Amino acid sequence: MPRAPRIEYEGAIYHLMARGDRREPIVYNDGDREVFVKTLAQACERAGWEVFAWVLLDNHYHLALRTPEPNLVDGMRWFQNAFTRRINTRNRLWGHLFGGRYKSVLVESDRDSGEEWESDYLTALVDYIHLNPARAGNVDGKEQSLRDYPWSSVARGYSLAPSKRALWLAIREGLDLFGEKDTVAGRKHFVDRLDEWSASENAKKAGLVEREGQSLQSTLRRGWYWGSESFREKLVQLQGSEIDRNGDRELRSSGLFKRHDEKGAEQIQSEAEKHFGETMESMRKPKYGDLRKVAIAWALAKQTTIRQSEIAHLTGLRSAANVSQRIRRFAGMEERELDREIREWRRKYSRFVN
Question: Could you tell me if residue 183 is inside a domain?
Answer: yes
Same domain, 89 and 173: yes
Residues 220 and 344 in one domain: no
Angle at 211 between CA 157 and CA 51, to 5 degrees: 20
Tell me what pLDDT residue 288 has. 75
Question: 158 and 19, same structural domain?
Answer: yes
pLDDT in the model for residue 243 = 46
Same domain, 198 and 305: no
- Angle among Cα 11, 17, 21 to the nearest 5 degrees reads 145
Report the 10 Å Cβ neighbour count for 246.
Answer: 12
**pTM of the complete model:** 0.72
Each residue's pLDDT, cut to its tens digit, for the chain (354 residues) gives 455 558 899 999 999 999 998 889 999 999 999 999 999 999 999 999 999 999 999 999 999 999 999 999 999 999 999 999 999 999 999 889 998 889 999 999 865 434 444 448 999 999 999 999 999 989 887 789 999 999 999 999 999 999 999 999 999 999 999 999 999 999 999 999 999 988 876 667 777 777 777 788 778 877 888 888 888 888 887 765 434 433 334 333 333 334 556 667 888 888 898 888 888 888 888 777 788 989 999 888 877 877 788 888 889 887 888 888 888 888 888 888 888 888 888 888 776 544
Is 280 inside a domain boundary?
Answer: yes
- Give the domain range for residue 114: 12-252
Residue 306 falls inside a structural domain: yes
Residue 354 within a domain: no
112 and 203, same domain (yes or no):
yes
- Each as own residue / partner, the long-range contacts of residues 164-169 (CB below 8 Å, 24 or more positions apart, any chain) are 166/41, 166/44, 168/41, 168/44, 168/45, 168/49, 168/50, 168/51, 169/50, 169/51
Residue 4 inside a domain? The answer is no
Pair 248, 326 in one domain: no
User: How many domains is the chain built from?
Assistant: 2
Residue that finishes a domain, picked among 235, 252, 269 = 252
Q: For position 203, what pLDDT does the model report?
A: 67
Identify the pLDDT of residue 160: 97
Q: Based on the domain organization, do 232 and 329 belong to the same domain?
A: no
**Confidence (pLDDT) at 235:** 84
Mark whether 135 and 168 lie in a shared domain.
yes
**CATH number of the domain that residue 125 is part of:** 3.30.70.1290
Where is the domain boundary, 252, 270, 293?
A: 252
pLDDT at 102 (0 to 100): 93
